[in-house]
Structure formats: C-alpha cells, structure tokens
A = this chain, B = another copy of it.
Amino acid sequence: MDSTEAMGGLKALDVFRDLSVCGQQMLECGMQLNYFDELKTIINKGNSVSGAYVVVRGRLRVYSISPGGNEATLYFINPGEVCILALNCIFNNLQYPAWVQTEPDTCVGMIPSLTYRTLFQNEPSIQNLTVHALSVLVFRLMEELEEIHSLNLNARLAKFILLRGVADGQLRMTQSELAAHLGTTREVIAKLLRKLVAAGSVKTLRGSIVIENPELLARMAARE
C-alpha cells in the first residue's frame, strides 16, 4: 500500500512542516539529520531506541536474521515515512525487535523520544500520523504473511521483481541481496531466475535483473 493513499495523502514530512518543526526548526527542536552514502546497519536487534526516525531521502530496510544467519526483509520504510517500530519502542519502553539497514544515499532524521512524546500529546496531527503509520505497517505485514502462506517462492520472486523494478524495468540488486529479501539462499534464487529467464519474462545481468515481459511476469506472480 502506498503511504500517500490512505488518510488523504498525509505524510510525515508534511505534518512536521505544518508544525514548523521541519528543516532548521526541526533541528532546533532537537532533530538530528544523519546521512549515509552506503549500506549500513544502524539498529541491531535488542538495541534501545533513542528517538523517532523519519526517512528524508533513500530508504530503510527492516529485517530479521534467523539463528542460521539468513536474513529476511520484513518491510521497507520509504521517504516521508516514520519508523513506527521505533515509536512503538519509545511508547512502550521496549527494545528494538529487528535490524535496520540504510540503502545507499539515505538521509534519516531522528527526533528524541521526549520531544516526540510531547508532540504526540499536544498535536492531533502527530496523533493521526502515528496511527496512520501503524495502520500502514499492519497492512504491509498482513499482506506479507498472506503472501508467504499462499504463494510459492517462484511467484514471490516474480512479484518482488515486478514491484521493485517497475521504475525503469530494471532491478539493480545482486542475487544474494534478493535472497536476503525473500528469506532464502542465493542458489535457490539462481535456480528460480533460470526458470523466469527460460520463460522469457526477465533477463539477468551482473548486479541487476531486466524485466523483458511484464505481463508474463505478472502472470507468474499470480500463480499459487
């Protein structure tokens, strides 16, 4: 679900802008802006959370790691969205339940816990923003769960390529990264990609996958 859809296109940054706490003002009220030019893990499972995170540019990936060491992406946080898990932890004094990694060229703002809690108590728009962000996350997680239950890996891979490569028909990502997103291993991805290539729906390059036939790919993504 696109975060701009529900709740009348409400976005975290717009809300903060309305409150005159964005940009310089926000820095004055205690927000720190952090820039990352490469993949970096900024939160580890079990870390205590020091504030609310807002993605300004780029993207954050929230993922889990199995005891065997395999990663699996739980969901992404896009520009203009807040990391609601961190809010969760702030409100309930919990430790962060997963890992968070930046994509290259990502800028993240951090608002101290106390500031956010004060804002939440006094500003209806912050309350709405919080509830909305939580709602979006719940829907994303439910969608993911449903997908895992009803689709096989092949279909999930096809769907992932379709959704994330739709911009220019090309998904710039290694097969190892793809495997980490879908919670499986590289060899399995390679095997499944071979099927997609044989069917003529995609083409594989070093470090990227090119969509050749979106309709065909969509049909493979729908198969149970």
Q: How large is the interface on A (under 10, 10 to 19, 20 to 34, 35 or more residues)?
A: 35 or more
The interface residues of chain B lying within 8 Å CB-to-CB of A148 are: 145, 148
| A18 contacts B by Cβ under 8 Å | no
| A146 contacts B by Cβ under 8 Å | yes
| A94 contacts B by Cβ under 8 Å | yes
| A173 contacts B by Cβ under 8 Å | no
| A135 contacts B by Cβ under 8 Å | yes
Task: Report the bound CA distance from A134 to B84 in whole Å.
Answer: 10
Contact of A142 among B6, B141, B224 (CB under 8 A): B141
Identify the closest chain B residue to A222 (Cβ). B67
Known: A91-B131, A134-B135. A64 touches B149 (CB 8 A): yes
The interface residues of chain B lying within 8 Å CB-to-CB of A67 are: 150, 224
B68 and A224 form a contact (CB under 8 A): yes
Report which A residues bind B (CB closer than 8 A): 6-7, 64, 66-68, 70, 72, 74, 84-85, 88, 91-94, 97-98, 121, 124, 127, 130-132, 134-135, 137-139, 141-146, 148-150, 183, 224
B145 and A64 form a contact (CB under 8 A): yes
Identify the closest chain B residue to A140 (Cβ). B141
A150 and B92 form a contact (CB under 8 A): no
CB distance from A112 to the nearest CB of B (A): 19
Residue among A67, A145, A150 with the most chain B CB within 10 A?
Answer: A145
Identify the closest chain B residue to A8 (Cβ). B92
Identify the closest chain B residue to A5 (Cβ). B92
The interface residues of chain B lying within 8 Å CB-to-CB of A84 are: 138
Identify the closest chain B residue to A182 (Cβ). B149
